Structure 1
Amino acid sequence: MMKLGYPRFLLSGYIFLSLLGIWVVATAVVPAGHRPGCPAKCGDVDIPFPFGIGDQCAFHPGFGLDCTAVDGVKKPFAGTVEVTKISLTNGTATMNTAISWQCYVPATGTTNYSNGWLNLTNTPFWISEVDNTVIVIGCNTLAYMISSSYVIGCSSTCESGDPLKNDTCSGAGCCQANVPKDIQYYNGYFNEKYNTTKIWRDSRCSYITVMEKAAFNFKTSYVKSTVFYDTYKGYVPIVLNWKIALQTCKEVRNESSYACVSSHSVCVDSTTHNPGYRCNCSDGYQGNPYIANGCRDIDECRRLVNPCGDGICENTPGNYSCSCYPGNYMTNGVCVPIQKKPSRFQAMPVVGASVGLVVLVIVVACACLIQERRKLRNMKLAYFRQHGGTILFEEMKSRQGADAFKIFSEEELQQATNRFSEKQVIGRGGHGTVYKGLLKSNVEVAVKRCMTIDEQHKKEFGKEMLILAQINHRNVVKLLGCCLEVEVPMLVYEYVPNGTLFDLIHGNHGWRISLATRLGIAHDSAEALSYLHSGASTPILHGDVKSSNILLDDNHKAKVSDFGASILAPTDESQFVTLVQGTCGYLDPEYMQTCQLTDKSDVYSFGVVLLELLTCKKPFNLDALGQEKSLSMMFMSAMKENRLEVMLDDGIKDEDNMEILEEIAELAKHCLEMSGENRPSMKEVAEKLDRLRKVMHHPWVQQNPEEMESLLEEPSAMVHSTIVSDQYFSIEKKAVTNLQSGR
């Protein structure tokens, strides 16, 4: 049984302590091969090179393992993490990670917690998004994982109308979420306010963990007992990808540290955002590509089934060849006996039978093809109806001006994007992948393929598209249409050519961005969000405002994009967000506590964007110390201590600009208020930025204090407290401390 009574943030996850900060390229003295005297196994686990027991036996210290006896059985460990399997072919390592749990203790009336976490930063490993999944178990449980770039989770319920089922993890007692790509760090959390004492009576414990998909099979007993924790003994398997070094194959191929030393080996580039490579044996060979002569020829002829059928199989390097015994000849890869040529009369029945057989095959093939096409058409029609396509189509015909919005077929978008070629990818995110496309009308578009869609959005998708299609604002990326005949709908937007605001600020391009340009971009973005909140026919909440979702045209005019996280404004207080997601550094602290998205959540995120424009710093830096991890926390501290100048970017720090900069900083501070009620609306923010632009365009006003004061005078609704909330510092500091310590 699971032991209870640990303090709330007891460290129950792991960290690669022995690997952090020591993974560097070409640190091995000997470039390849098993070192003499190095063991190839630890207990029952094979330890193939480049891994090794001890740093001296590994390719470099990042692959050094310890072989430690646990209860009399030797097991390999990477730091404090047990390694259970290593695959050279797949480039994976299976290890154990802790389960995050919270349990109600009836005797004391308290809840105990243990947060599982994993930190792979500065190691050659990252979490496989293909082999793993985020699992949440419990009644009325909302839990989420925080990584260096994403916050993602889900909620599970135990409603009477949705009974628990074995082997089914889709929201009833158990839910799953996809693991984002390129994740090296995560920490599991629970939302306390989502649970009640009544729920604890039926389901005393709740869990969240990241684990291997193939190793998990939901059982209803997991919900009302500690069977889940006991089954895995507190630790679940997780599959990690790895790469041998940080260089690409092209960069390292001619260097002495090149790891693919076996003949008949090939170099494979990593698919992550960061460069790297690993090695495989060539086709027809198997073994270890990291050691000399490690890739050995596969003798296909020794397989249980002869690849040549009844013929003679001869093994060749990397392949095999087939021949026939005397009296036979090869046709279509099959050996058949040589027969005398039959007479014309003898051949006629054979010819007739052959023709009949060919006709029969053609008829059957055509029937199967027609059946498959009919099944595909019916499936596309079912998806179309499921996503509200029928309602959307009828509404478009009845509404004036709706013809600007188009329902695309899957084939149209495949042709526009060259079958969704990797060369057409212009962006990836937590919601999906964006491709550049060219329609038959020679119109450039951006096609977004979403990863998943929840059941509520499936039912309301057609209605939401109709509302989003009516958005028409110069600073909002235009939604041109959608494709509904696929499992997860695709969205088609206008193409904006000049990249994102994030690339402009953090792209290391060496350009100097003037204050006027930054202020213009901020004003354009604020106008767009103000329109979505109060100018659209139905209020729309963006939900993921950040600099990478602000696109720029050739004149640096801003357009707000990516409505993958957008939702229609809730009409009553019962509408909560059931999938917690967003981007670290931009998330509204109030949203994290209440799980209710509001227009003031977008205001907070926009305040962080203002800080990026002022400081040219990233919103969140996992490698920094203390409060320097959070840009908003650093800024609020600087404002409280009257140290604004130390935060400003040198490119805009100028005595002539200081009054304008102070006004922008004051506006950002209001946007970052802890309580949403104390933040301005986006309309007020846009008006304030518009007044500041007028001051920039008329510098003579700055020389006249009375004119300056008149132009910058704020409406009463914009007046907020200038005192920084102590509560804000307490919660922000607590969040950063938790991320730093892994809790």
Structure 2
Amino acid sequence: MHTLAIAALHLLQLLATIPTLSSQDTEAIPGCTSRCHNISIPYPFGIGDERCYLHEGFKLACKTEEQPPVLYMNSAGYRVVKIKLNPRVVYLDTRFHQLLGKSSYGESWNLSLDNSLYRLSAAQNVFVALGCGFRFSVSLPGAGANASASTCDSSCQHGYPKVPTDGTCSGTGCCYTEVSQDSNSYAIKLVPHDEAAANSTMPGARGPFNATYIVEKGEYWKRTGFAVPLQQYAAAPESVPPVPTHTVVYWMFGNSSCAEARSSNASGCLSDESECHDEPPRGYRCQCGQGYVGNPYMPNGCQDVNECTQTDPPPCFGQCINTIGSYDCICPSGTSGNPRVKDGCSPSKLKLSGLIIAIGLGSGIAILLFVFAIVVIRRKVKARKARITKEFFFKQNRGLLLQQLVDRDIAERMIFRLEELERATNSFDETRKLGGGGHGTVYKGILSDQRVVAIKKSRHAVKREIDDFINEVAILSQVNHRNVVNLFGCCLETEVPLLVYEFISNGTLHEHLHVSAPQSLSWKERKRIALEIARSLAYLHSSASMSIIHRDIKTANILLDDRLVAKVADFGASRGIPIYETSVTTTIQGTFGYLDPEYYQTGRLTEKSDVYSFGVILVELLMRRKPSSYVSPEGSNLVSHFSSAVSEDKLREVLDSQVIEEAEEEETREMAAIAVTCLNSKGEDRPSMRQVEMRLQALQSPADSTGRNQNQRIEEGAAGPNGRRPVQGGDSSYAGDHSNLSRPYSMEQEFWSSMSFPR
């Protein structure tokens, strides 16, 4: 009977390891909203009914009329960025404070929250001053003249921007300081360096100055990825989308100790399995007891942990059995000793009769058969679930795809199986990752027919990603151009479809252009690449009955093959517009620095939005500067600085030195003139991409204008690129003689030509 009991214990443990479904939410009170967009709302915080939060000081408001929804403190209106239970902190957006046009400043910074519940963390925050030519000081309000203050100096230096935008903060245009004491109110003072000369030797500018200061989590401020958006917004708030600060604020339950809270029946530790710990000099904190996890501030918030199934199990070298709040560790059947020590269980001397041995042996065999049956059943259930899931996604995505494709036969020919793509990428191994963009991660794969391909996989299973991927299939299935990346097909057996492209081996135009070496792409290559991009965009805008607008043209989305031929990629944000329409109103998508300001202000998308982005690329080719991060000494962005230089006849002062050495002055002036017309603030005053293509064509030498000799053109005219025969009236960059300009396809010819690749 002892053997049977041990065998039953083994069986119970095996069944306990089988995953079970649990939908219990231990963050919020049952029936209350636990999230606002992507922010979790744990009790004692809450929104809605009074039962959802502890009291008014913890009430929040989720503004769903904003898109995406934004969470605010209900009383003071601060935006909530994050809430943590352990440690007890809340990250708030305390906003940017601008000080404009004075020679000195004195004001107070206040956190408008209940002092008994919230207190700014001096240890985790820094006060940051952006601007130059002053000393910045922070002190407690009401402190005397001799009281110590936290200070930092920000100087002005010739050739440096007044506010850096590269994430640095070393005393030139930016400085920060820490405070030594928690408080919800501080005195802020800024004086120019000439008034502080008695205590400082820092050089500075006299007279009125502008400054901006914020309170930010010190750990975040020292990371470039967090500092750059804050600096960019402080430098040009009118042209950059607002960004929140991350001010760290402690939250508490007043000033009482654990004993005082229990005696007054006002303890915030509401879970039966929670523990209260004093935190001098203010308040107390709650935590779940050993063996429990969850939210100690709400009833039944602490749940038992199954220690035996944890990824980091407790030290037990025998049989681990979970109990409420703890676990037991026993030696396996037939052994005895200390199971918590390695090799601590040794065989025991049992005097069993033949009957007991036979019963034990029979029970063991029965249990083995039972376990084997469970394993087989679980595998079959798992395989069946995977098959049903793939069939569901295939039906859903195929329907979405067919809604956007005219020819169903084209959609069927484009489909890859998930198993084929997993074999091609070694189950999407990290070593096969090529990089990623705004619409997914790209992996290198080798198909069974030895074709090398690039496979794009979404990072997030959200409706927008599904729509973007389906949109990219529908767009690229209509495109056949030597300067547009080829789409071989897609896999519809995942929640978000996988896209299979031709593999482009030589990286992006952005990587080739912005190298650390003084020499980059030659002027001849830059002219040719600009023409190839213009050809592809002219083709997209007038290729078929549906005009295609890319909407995210930038150097990072221009791929280069081994001959540095340009290939436009990443069509996830693209939109098709019927030929009888000139625009469409849609949500804003694109990349800062390349985004059409007229589209950004009105939401009205036209072909001229791509023209503006192409104009930015021309400026980037001429100046070799990054549009998203460049700020001139005068504080203007790349486009404004370039336009001013052209209008003031100072073009050579802003050109890349390599362009000055290799290009004729007339060539650079002509390309600059093309760029300025593309960057016109009014879309209707910009040229079409066809007109831009013709002007760039005129810049090419006779050898450059074709990109290959006559024999190559005859050969491609017969067979087409990638072994395809060109469609009559198709892309003239490889389909005939004439002026080498792009021409439109018919919709039917586009579809069948795009599907003529071998599978």
Give the alignment's TM-score, normalised by structure 1: 0.52
Residue identity matched to 1:689:
L
Relative distance call for 1:128 and 1:624 in structure 2 (3 A) is closer
In structure 1, the residue matched to 2:499 is 491
Relative distance call for 1:684 and 1:406 in structure 2 (3 A) is same
- Shift of residue 365, structure 1, vs aligned partner: 2.1
- Shift of residue 420, structure 1, vs aligned partner: 2.9
Q: Are the equivalent residues in 2 in contact too, given 1:498–1:551 (CA < 8 A)?
A: yes
Of stretches 495-504 and 411-420 in structure 1, the one that deviates more from structure 2 is 411-420
Instruction: Say which of 634, 651, 665 aligns to 1:658.
Output: 665
Q: Are the equivalent residues in 1 in contact too, given 2:483–2:568 (CA < 8 A)?
A: yes
Q: Tell me the distance in 1 between the aligned counterparts of 2:585 and 2:462.
A: 14
Relative distance call for 1:409 and 1:528 in structure 2 (3 A) is same
Q: Tell me the distance in 2 between the aligned counterparts of 1:363 and 1:424.
A: 38
In structure 2, the residue matched to 1:607 is 615
Q: Tell me the distance in 2 between the aligned counterparts of 1:186 and 1:361.
A: 66
Q: Tell me the distance in 2 between the aligned counterparts of 1:597 and 1:379.
A: 37
Q: Deviations over 1:229-288 (max 9, x none)?
A: xxxxxxxxxxxxxxxxxxxxxxxxxxxxxxxxxxxxxxxxxxxxxxxxxxxxxxxxxxxx
In structure 1, the residue matched to 2:585 is 576
Q: Tell me the distance in 2 between the aligned counterparts of 1:634 and 1:44.
A: 41
Q: Deviations over 1:350-394 (max 9, x none)?
A: 222221221122212222221222222222222222323586499
Matches within 5 A, 1:132-143: none
Q: Tell me the distance in 2 between the aligned counterparts of 1:603 and 1:374.
A: 51
Relative distance call for 1:483 and 1:16 in structure 2 (3 A) is farther
Relative distance call for 1:489 and 1:656 in structure 2 (3 A) is closer
- Shift of residue 496, structure 1, vs aligned partner: 0.9
Q: Tell me the distance in 1 between the aligned counterparts of 2:235 and 2:331.
A: 56
Instruction: Say which of 468, 472, 477 aligns to 1:469.
Output: 477
Q: Deviations over 1:95-136 (max 9, x none)?
A: xxxxxxxxxxxxxxxxxxx9999799994235689xxxxxxx
Q: Tell me the distance in 1 between the aligned counterparts of 2:529 and 2:627.
A: 18
Q: Tell me the distance in 2 between the aligned counterparts of 1:499 and 1:379.
A: 35
Q: Tell me the distance in 2 between the aligned counterparts of 1:117 and 1:543.
A: 36
Relative distance call for 1:443 and 1:211 in structure 2 (3 A) is farther
2:181 is aligned with 1:68? yes
Relative distance call for 1:399 and 1:385 in structure 2 (3 A) is closer
2:222 is aligned with 1:124? yes
Q: Are the equivalent residues in 1 in contact too, given 2:435–2:443 (CA < 8 A)?
A: yes
- Shift of residue 69, structure 1, vs aligned partner: 4.4
Structure 1 counterpart SS, 2:659:
coil
Q: Tell me the distance in 2 between the aligned counterparts of 1:410 and 1:186.
A: 47
Q: Are the equivalent residues in 1 in contact too, given 2:540–2:549 (CA < 8 A)?
A: yes
In structure 1, the residue matched to 2:593 is 585
- Shift of residue 526, structure 1, vs aligned partner: 0.9
Q: Tell me the distance in 2 between the aligned counterparts of 1:186 and 1:351.
A: 80
Instruction: Say which of 281, 304, 316 aligns to 1:308.
Output: 316
2:749 is aligned with 1:667? no
Relative distance call for 1:554 and 1:118 in structure 2 (3 A) is farther
Instruction: Say which of 348, 357, 360 aligns to 2:370.
Output: 360
2:497 is aligned with 1:415? no
- Shift of residue 656, structure 1, vs aligned partner: 7.0
In structure 1, the residue matched to 2:450 is 442
Relative distance call for 1:446 and 1:188 in structure 2 (3 A) is farther
Give the alignment's TM-score, normalised by structure 2: 0.51
- Shift of residue 346, structure 1, vs aligned partner: 3.3
Residue identity matched to 1:485:
E
In structure 2, the residue matched to 1:13 is 95
In structure 1, the residue matched to 2:563 is 555
Structure 1 counterpart SS, 2:457:
strand
- Shift of residue 524, structure 1, vs aligned partner: 0.8
Q: Deviations over 1:182-216 (max 9, x none)?
A: xx99979999xxxxxxxxxxxxxxx995879xx9x
Relative distance call for 1:609 and 1:121 in structure 2 (3 A) is farther
Relative distance call for 1:210 and 1:527 in structure 2 (3 A) is farther
Q: Tell me the distance in 2 between the aligned counterparts of 1:529 and 1:115.
A: 44
Relative distance call for 1:210 and 1:322 in structure 2 (3 A) is farther
Residue identity matched to 2:222:
P
In structure 1, the residue matched to 2:512 is 504
Q: Tell me the distance in 1 between the aligned counterparts of 2:614 and 2:445.
A: 30
Relative distance call for 1:210 and 1:542 in structure 2 (3 A) is farther
In structure 1, the residue matched to 2:350 is 340
Structure 2 counterpart SS, 1:569:
strand
Q: Tell me the distance in 2 between the aligned counterparts of 1:586 and 1:504.
A: 18
Of stretches 672-681 and 428-437 in structure 1, the one that deviates more from structure 2 is 428-437
- Shift of residue 323, structure 1, vs aligned partner: 8.9
- Shift of residue 426, structure 1, vs aligned partner: 2.3
Instruction: Say which of 362, 381, 390 aligns to 1:380.
Output: 390
In structure 2, the residue matched to 1:532 is 540
Q: Deviations over 1:568-625 (max 9, x none)?
A: 23786895323x3322211100011012322111110001111111121221335644
Q: In angstroms, what is the RMSD of aligned CA positions?
A: 5.4
Structure 1 counterpart SS, 2:673:
helix
Q: Are the equivalent residues in 2 in contact too, given 1:406–1:480 (CA < 8 A)?
A: yes
Relative distance call for 1:544 and 1:360 in structure 2 (3 A) is same
Q: Are the equivalent residues in 2 in contact too, given 1:147–1:186 (CA < 8 A)?
A: no
- Shift of residue 48, structure 1, vs aligned partner: 9.7
Q: Are the equivalent residues in 1 in contact too, given 2:97–2:213 (CA < 8 A)?
A: no
Q: Are the equivalent residues in 2 in contact too, given 1:15–1:79 (CA < 8 A)?
A: no
Q: Tell me the distance in 2 between the aligned counterparts of 1:326 and 1:399.
A: 67
Relative distance call for 1:530 and 1:306 in structure 2 (3 A) is closer
Q: Tell me the distance in 1 between the aligned counterparts of 2:399 and 2:231.
A: 37
Residue identity matched to 2:389:
M
Q: Tell me the distance in 1 between the aligned counterparts of 2:569 and 2:436.
A: 13
Q: Deviations over 1:647-705 (max 9, x none)?
A: 2222232697122222111111111111111111112211221122146759xxxxxxx
Which runs of 5 or more residues in structure 1 are unaligned? 5-10, 18-41, 81-113, 130-144, 152-183, 192-206, 216-299, 313-320, 699-712, 716-743
Q: Are the equivalent residues in 1 in contact too, given 2:615–2:679 (CA < 8 A)?
A: yes
Q: Are the equivalent residues in 1 in contact too, given 2:214–2:245 (CA < 8 A)?
A: no
Q: Tell me the distance in 2 between the aligned counterparts of 1:394 and 1:14.
A: 45
Structure 2 counterpart SS, 1:611:
helix
Which runs of 5 or more residues in structure 2 are unaligned? 1-73, 78-92, 100-117, 127-138, 140-148, 152-168, 191-211, 251-306, 308-312, 321-328, 706-738, 742-759
Of stretches 558-567 and 447-456 in structure 1, the one that deviates more from structure 2 is 447-456
Q: Are the equivalent residues in 1 in contact too, given 2:458–2:465 (CA < 8 A)?
A: no
Q: Tell me the distance in 1 between the aligned counterparts of 2:465 and 2:124.
A: 47
Structure 2 counterpart SS, 1:626:
coil
Instruction: Say which of 689, 695, 698 aligns to 1:682.
Output: 689
Q: Are the equivalent residues in 2 in contact too, given 1:14–1:118 (CA < 8 A)?
A: no
Residue identity matched to 1:387:
N
Relative distance call for 1:423 and 1:49 in structure 2 (3 A) is farther
Residue identity matched to 1:125:
R
Q: Tell me the distance in 2 between the aligned counterparts of 1:638 and 1:409.
A: 54
2:665 is aligned with 1:567? no
Q: Tell me the distance in 2 between the aligned counterparts of 1:566 and 1:481.
A: 18
Structure 2 counterpart SS, 1:540:
strand
Instruction: Say which of 637, 646, 664 aligns to 2:644.
Output: 637
In structure 2, the residue matched to 1:177 is none
Q: Tell me the distance in 2 between the aligned counterparts of 1:619 and 1:189.
A: 13
In structure 2, the residue matched to 1:349 is 359
Q: Are the equivalent residues in 2 in contact too, given 1:311–1:325 (CA < 8 A)?
A: no
Relative distance call for 1:486 and 1:655 in structure 2 (3 A) is closer
- Shift of residue 70, structure 1, vs aligned partner: 2.3
Relative distance call for 1:622 and 1:361 in structure 2 (3 A) is same
Identity of counterpart residues, as a percentage?
34
Q: Tell me the distance in 1 between the aligned counterparts of 2:533 and 2:695.
A: 13
In structure 1, the residue matched to 2:521 is 513
